[in-house]
Amino acid sequence: MSSSSPVRERRTLQSMMKLKNFVAFRQKMRNDAVQAQTLTNTEEYERHTQFANDVAKFLRKNVIQGVKVAEGDQSGDGIWCN
């Protein structure tokens, strides 16, 4: 007889799936960023950079719900916390 309930097992499975999706997304974004470093077309590089910034903005607003607490360096990233 299992000591854990089906609800707990389902929640654990859901958490593992979310983590797996997060890791896959993070790896995809990293690979895209590394690949963009080799772009020689200025317009395409700017388009890629704008897309990455838009994704980060969306995630901060809708997923992380972060709040900017300090200005960053020249990159304009700033310091965010949730």
pTM over 0.85: no
Count Cα atoms within 13 angstroms, Cβ side, for 35.
Answer: 9
**What are 9-47's pLDDT values in tens digits?**
877 877 888 888 888 888 988 898 888 888 889 999 899
The whole-angstrom separation of Cα 46 and Cα 38 is: 13
Which tokens is 62 given?
A: 């809708």
Q: What is the pLDDT of residues 52-65, one digit of tens each?
A: 889 888 877 777 66
Which runs of E-coded beta strand occur in the chain?
Answer: 67-70, 79-81
CA dist 62 and 56 (Å) reads: 10
Q: Which among 53, 59, 60, 47 is positioned nearest to 76, based on CA atoms? A: 53
